């Protein structure tokens, strides 16, 4: 029996990178899944990547996690489509880099709006459904090694992910007696569009970045599937004794 047979799942950021990898992994394990993303093209790519025999369990919805009206509308559609919710995976996120003393306030606010406020808005919308789950609702949030170790030029990103840590622990305790679990995934450097498209300051000191990819495979970046397998475990019954904690998947970056 597949671990997600009969489980109803929403994955944000599912149009690319880690979110897409998670959506395809949980779909392969039997989930009825709504893939949500701001990019229609990304959602089309996710649907194209899904095997034909899994297409009937995959649904897509366009969603801007930083916009409350968009969250309310998209999640209402998802709940109706799925008939409820068992697992929420908040994988949507952005990264912006720059010298902290030169960072525009608009950039700071944009990163926090997507990474932290977006996670909050999704949780706020999903909790009433999750606590009704007959399997025990699960929230999987995404932190980062940036929240635990110094990531130069990424002040907004690090702050947003530290906020997600605190939010996850609060949710885990607040709803533990209602059968809800909440965990943080803490990736290190993963090869995605976010990392490949990151633009550091022209005068960035690369020696300060040396430890970020970790040590496995000679310091190579991880892959989305390295994260997807951990999420699949944590949000399934295999992770049933796990809540209010972090799972670090960083190639040994913070050893």
Q: What is the pLDDT along the chain (255 residues), one digit of tens a residue?
A: 799 999 999 999 999 999 999 999 999 999 999 999 999 999 999 999 999 999 999 999 999 999 999 999 999 999 999 999 999 999 999 999 999 999 999 999 999 999 999 999 999 999 999 999 999 999 999 999 999 988 899 999 999 999 999 999 999 999 999 999 999 999 988 888 766 667 889 999 988 877 677 878 887 888 999 999 999 999 999 999 999 999 999 988 888
Q: Closest Cα to residue 142, out of 22, 8, 3?
A: 22
3-state secondary structure 166-208: HHHHHHHHHCHHHCCEEEEEEECCECCHHHHCCCCCCCCCHHH
CATH H-level superfamily of 8-249: NAD(P)-binding Rossmann-like Domain (3.40.50.720)
CB count in 10 Å sphere of residue 185: 25
pLDDT at 199 (0 to 100): 82
**What does the alpha-carbon distance between residue 163 and residue 73 come to, in Å, rounded to a whole number?**
25
235, 22 in Cβ contact below 8 A? no
pLDDT at residue number 192:
80
pLDDT for the residue 219: 78
Question: What pLDDT sits at residue 211?
Answer: 67
In whole angstroms, what is the distance from residue 230 CA to residue 252 CA? 15
**E strand or H helix at 230, and its extent?**
helix 224-234
Determine whether 157 is an active site residue. yes
Helix (H) or strand (E) holding 60: strand 58-62
pTM of the model: 0.95
pLDDT for 220 equals 83
Residue tagged 């990531």 (tokens): 151
Angle 134-121-65 from CA coordinates, rounded to 5° = 110
- The active-site residue out of 4, 157, 175, 241 is 157
State how far the Cα of 17 lies from the Cα of 94, in Å rounded to an integer. Answer: 12
CA max distance for the chain: 54
Contact 5, 181 (CB under 8 A): no
Q: Where are the domains of the chain?
A: 8-249
């Amino acid at each position: 029996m597949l671990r997600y047979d009969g489980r109803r799942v929403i994955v944000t950021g599912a149009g690319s990178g880690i979110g897409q990898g998670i959506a395809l992994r949980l779909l392969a394990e039997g989930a009825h899944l709504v893939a949500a993303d701001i990019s229609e093209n990304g959602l089309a790519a996710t649907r194209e990547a899904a095997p034909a025999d899994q297409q009937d369990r995959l649904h897509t919805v366009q969603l801007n996690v930083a916009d409350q009206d968009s969250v309310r509308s998209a999640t209402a559609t998802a709940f109706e489509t799925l008939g409820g919710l068992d697992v929420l995976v908040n994988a949507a996120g952005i990264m912006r880099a720059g010298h902290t003393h030169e960072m525009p306030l608009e950039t700071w606010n944009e990163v926090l709006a997507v990474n932290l406020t977006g996670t909050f808005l999704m949780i706020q919308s999903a909790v009433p459904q999750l606590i009704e789950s007959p399997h025990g609702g699960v929230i999987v949030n995404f932190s980062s090694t940036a929240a635990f170790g110094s990531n130069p030029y990424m002040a907004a990103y690090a702050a947003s992910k530290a906020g997600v840590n605190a939010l996850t622990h609060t949710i885990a305790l607040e709803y533990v007696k209602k059968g809800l679990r909440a965990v943080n995934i803490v990736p290190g450097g993963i090869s995605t569009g976010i990392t490949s498209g990151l633009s550091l300051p022209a005068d960035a000191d690369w020696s300060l970045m040396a430890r970020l990819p970790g040590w496995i495979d000679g310091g190579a970046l991880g892959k989305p599937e390295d994260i997807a397998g951990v999420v699949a475990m944590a949000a399934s019954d295999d992770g049933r004794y796990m809540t209010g904690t972090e799972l670090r998947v960083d190639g040994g970056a913070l050893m």
